[in-house]
Amino acid sequence: MNILLGILAGLIFLLYSIYFLKIIQGQHRSFELEILKSLADWIMARGLVSKTHIWSMFFLSLLGEALYFTLTLALIQNPFMEVFTGIFIGLETFHLIRLAVGFKYFFAGKYLLSQIFDWRVERASTLLFFTHSFLILVILTYF
């Protein structure tokens, strides 16, 4: 179980490291515009099937986060990390609900693609995931 948590934390750490670096370098706006443009191009190229793919990715990420947080709470016996993880779960729940509503309205034609993402929330989520996964890796390595 520790190995699985380590693998998940390592993957999260690596995936979020690029955006994290852009944020701390102050280059996040251009990176976010690039992400948005790439997503728009991908949706246009895929057409209607993009809706199925986006919802599939959303639910896979939801399951991945649930597994990561469950393993963290089950395996890491550190009061700070337990509180940090609990608060983070609440924030991520809020984040995922916002995204789900945004995608629902987008696919219903009520939102523009640019209205789905609140980039302040995306940045906060990135900073928290990067930090949390780093701390998990440190704890698993040294404790």
Strands (E), 1-143: none
pTM surpassing 0.95? Answer: no
Phi, psi torsion values for 48, nearest 5 degrees = -65, -30
- Using the predicted structure, report yes or no on whether residue 143 has a pLDDT greater than 90: no
Helices 119-142 and 28-46 pack at an angle, to 10 degrees, of 100
Rounded CA separation 91/86 (Å): 9
List, for residues 61-117, the tens digit of each pLDDT value: 999 999 999 999 999 999 999 999 999 999 999 999 999 999 999 999 999 999 999
List, for residues 11-47, the tens digit of each pLDDT value: 999 999 999 999 999 999 999 999 999 999 999 999 9
DSSP 11: H
The token pair at 87 is 């608060």
pLDDT of 36 reads: 97
DSSP string, 115-130: GT--HHHHHHHHHHHH
Cβ contact 84:72 at 8 Å: no
Domain-wise residue ranges, the chain: 2-142
- Using the predicted structure, report yes or no on whether residue 119 has a pLDDT greater than 90: yes
